[in-house]
Structure 1
Amino acid sequence: MAEVTQDAYIALRTYITSNWKTVSLRDDTNREIKKLTLDGSKVKWTHSKLTKEEYVGDDNFGDPVYRQTEYESNQTLELTITLKGADFTLPKTVSKSVIIDNAENEVSAEDFQPFTFKNANDELTIKHKIQVPAIA
């Protein structure tokens, strides 16, 4: 049986961060209380990435031109969800985050200690982590 390569794991991580863009927040009965999409403010990928030098062509003098590009080097992908009580009809308790792919499949779920928003100024930050290993 063949194993996938390191580049395959990078491709998997890139696919995840490019296509898993919806988060469903649930209560302790698994009832959806809020659905959010990746927007760069309330929901964003926050894990670190490495950069690599990539050849992009030659300049007008025939010299090679390179650029630095980030790639999904981190084995743990981290989606950070930042919420305030003002985002909900209060009171509201959140105890689970579920990531949903483009086909509406639930692809990752994380339970956490229930948090109840009681007033508009309450804040909660959820770090939803997904492990996509690399070859040792």
Structure 2
Amino acid sequence: MDDHLPETLRAVEDELTALLRRGRALSWEVAREVHPNLEPNTYGLLLWLRRSGSIRLTDLAARLGIGKGTLSRQIAGLEGLGLVRRDPDPSDRRAAQLSLTEEGSRRFDAARAARFEQIRRTLRNWPERDVENFARLLHRFNETF
């Protein structure tokens, strides 16, 4: 196995590069579906906000591994588009809770449904066990990367 490891790692790198290239293209496409002026890198923010319902900016920054200043600027842009709102945190009036607006949820859900359909079409001929293993291995990779 050790003799083949470099070639195997090259194959993994090639496939990751292709996946990331397609992922970037898909992010642009999905972001534009949410809102024509949405930056593609903010789709992940919307995903976290949709999952959490409401979250403090500092907690979201920690989850995403980005600085509070950077996140605050991105959130301000999303607020300007009417997709995100800031509400006072009931447990700490100095902090804010972030959440999607009704319009943000509607637009995000529509774009996500289209994305799910694309993934469903791509994997429709895969055996269910392969899809489960693929999801498990991607999760494992992301957790350890």
Structure with the greater relative contact order (CA < 8 A, sep ≥ 6): 1 or 2? 1
TM-score by length of 2: 0.26
Greater share of helix residues, 1 or 2?
2
Greater share of strand residues, 1 or 2?
1
Greater C-alpha radius of gyration: 1
